[in-house]
Amino acid sequence: MNYPNGKKALAPVQRRKGKPTTTFSNRGMTLEEDINNTNIYYRTANLAIIHKKPTPIQIVNVNYPKRSAAVITEGYFKQASTTDYNGVYRGSYVDFEAKETKNKTSFPLNNVHEHQIEHMRSIIEHNGICFLLIRFTMHNETYFLPAMKLFSYWDSQFNGGKKSIPYQEIKKISVEVPMNYPAQVDYLKVIDQLYF
């Protein structure tokens, strides 16, 4: 996969000279899988219509070893994506980003990108419900951080502030998302609590 600037993305190296190496592929997939399963339940139960946004990709080269088995061999991200999920709940537009961190003590702000913050500001400006779901994997906890609360931390990092939000601070300014079955990440309960 290639990025818009034409540079090739580096493939993750699994082993180097017999030693395992760190790979960041599929980072955050556990949270995404849980949210995807939750969204399927929400749609099936007719509670909300929320979908994961596809990443816009320009396919450049395809290998056709046989008619039924086409393989994409080269592609580029068309543009930087905005947030992970969007949809409608109780007549309101919902838009959010999901982030997972192995950091025990803080959430690094470099996990969020400038274009995502700009997108979130636009959603808030148009009275949409916008937030960040943050999973601290080491604590097995997921937090619902309203975008409005995220903005002050984001802006402050450019004026000498911290480049991360401490875990204890996240616990104070966010709402822990209940983990239930079949709604594994039951964020609608938090939306009900904060917005309705």
Cα 18 to Cα 21: distance, rounded to the nearest angstrom: 9
**Three-state secondary-structure class, residue 87:** strand
Q: Given this model, what pLDDT does residue 125 score? A: 97
Cα 171 to Cα 181: distance, rounded to the nearest angstrom: 23
What's the pTM?
Answer: 0.75
Q: Given this model, what pLDDT does residue 196 score? A: 92
For residues 140 and 167, the answer to whether their CB atoms sit within 8 Å is no
- pLDDT tens sequence across 55-114: 656 666 777 777 677 777 776 655 566 788 999 999 999 999 999 999 999 999 999 999
Mean pLDDT, residues 158-186: 93
Mean pLDDT, residues 142-149: 97
- pLDDT tens sequence across 10-32: 444 444 444 444 433 444 458 99
Q: Given this model, what pLDDT does residue 55 score? A: 65
Cα 183 to Cα 32: distance, rounded to the nearest angstrom: 13
Q: Residues 143, 149, 151, CA angle at the centre, nearest 5°? A: 120
Mean pLDDT, residues 159-170: 94
Judge whether residue 189 has pLDDT over 90.
Answer: yes
In the chain the domains, ranked by start, together with CATH numbers, are 47-53+81-195 (3.40.1350.10)
Q: Given this model, what pLDDT does residue 28 score? A: 41
Q: Given this model, what pLDDT does residue 100 score? A: 94
Cα 189 to Cα 196: distance, rounded to the nearest angstrom: 10
Q: Given this model, what pLDDT does residue 3 score? A: 45
Cα 145 to Cα 96: distance, rounded to the nearest angstrom: 10
- pLDDT tens sequence across 111-142: 999 999 999 999 999 999 999 999 999 999 99
For residues 31 and 185, the answer to whether their CB atoms sit within 8 Å is yes
Alpha carbon of residue 97 to chain centroid: 4
